[in-house]
Amino acid sequence: MTQQVLKIGTRGSPLALAQAYETRTRLMAAHGLTETDFEIVVIKTTGDRITDRPLGEIGGKGLFTKEIEDALLDGSIDIAVHSMKDMPVEQPAGLLLDCYLPREDVRDAFVSLKYNSISDLPKGAKLGTSSLRRRAQILAMRPDLDVVEFRGNVQTRLKKLADGVADATFLAVAGLNRLGQHDLVKSPIDTDVLLPAIAQGAIGIQCRSADQTMCGMLSAINHSDTATRLCAERALLAGLDGSCQTPIAGLASLTGDQLHLKGQILRPDGSQEVTAEITGAQSDAAQLGAALAKILLERSGGDFF
């Protein structure tokens, strides 16, 4: 394998670093490498720098990826590790994203220092979230709640809870598991109650498409079932022209050679939601995602968004 140090680009949050370390561990095991063969390169993104405004106001999904992708394109790093729910569907020319690690728990976790579940929240309680999807879903269920803007990493959000900025929040179970903070999960929320974000719980690894050596190394750690599920979910997102400014949820599951995909679109205030499902062959994952997008658009009417 390569003799030079392999540079892994990542954001600097504890969760992003945990994901980079997991990638490094899997590459070490697959190729007989050691930690000295790698360098973790922390890159601060626009989304990390601007924390006092909603994501939709400052540009959407690419806020957490652009600077890292720029570093990949200019050769400063060899691979980039991303949370897949942050990734835009369209990829920059010259970059390839087709390596995924085994997907973690896809559910959202209810997190609170006062209450044990959504149903325990009293009328008018403050629920903090920066996610338009979670905001819309919770308002559809509990329009009596006061949903407030709530950004930051896990540690920042816990401090905000302690300071009374909100009474409760949602975090991805996957992130808490990867950080070893399972104790924070008051109650995992069933996906039938809160359908997760597209690609939630999945890690993607990006490289330069012309770097055949790196592409070959990554293929050895790609998890095919996760790749198939994300193919369907991201095709659904593409068909809906989804962004951080659009409340969209979706989840694919595999049974034998069949793929089941459920999708949901909502108005930001939770006043209307449309849900649909589709099942077909795993080999048709992309087509199923595109087909479900058309179904949702037809059922919602032309001006839903």
The residues annotated with a catalytic role in the active site are: 86
**Number of Cα atoms under 13 Å in the Cβ half of residue 133:** 23
Going from the C-alpha of 31 to that of each of 26, 37, 212, 216, the distances in angstroms are 9, 11, 15, 11
Tokens 């999945």, residue? 202
One DSSP character per residue, 63-106 reads: GGTHHHHHHHHTTS-SEEEEEGGG--SSPPTTEEEEEEPPP---
Q: Is the dihedral of CA 129, 133, 134, 135 positive or negative?
A: positive
Helix (H, G, I), strand (E, B) or coil at 216: helix
What's the CA gap between 104 and 175, in Å, rounded?
8
Retrieve residue 279's tokens.
């099942």
Nearest alpha-carbon partner for 37 in 7, 59, 70, 58:
7
Pair 33, 39: CB distance under 8 Å? no
CA torsion, ordered 265, 244, 197, 278, to nearest 10 deg? 40
Please list, in sequence order, all residues whose beta carbon lies within 8 angstroms of the beta carbon of residue 282, skipping any fewer than 6 positions away: 228, 254, 257, 258, 259
The phi, psi pair for 172, rounded to 5°, reads -70, 130
Q: Find tokens 């949820």 and name the residue.
A: 249
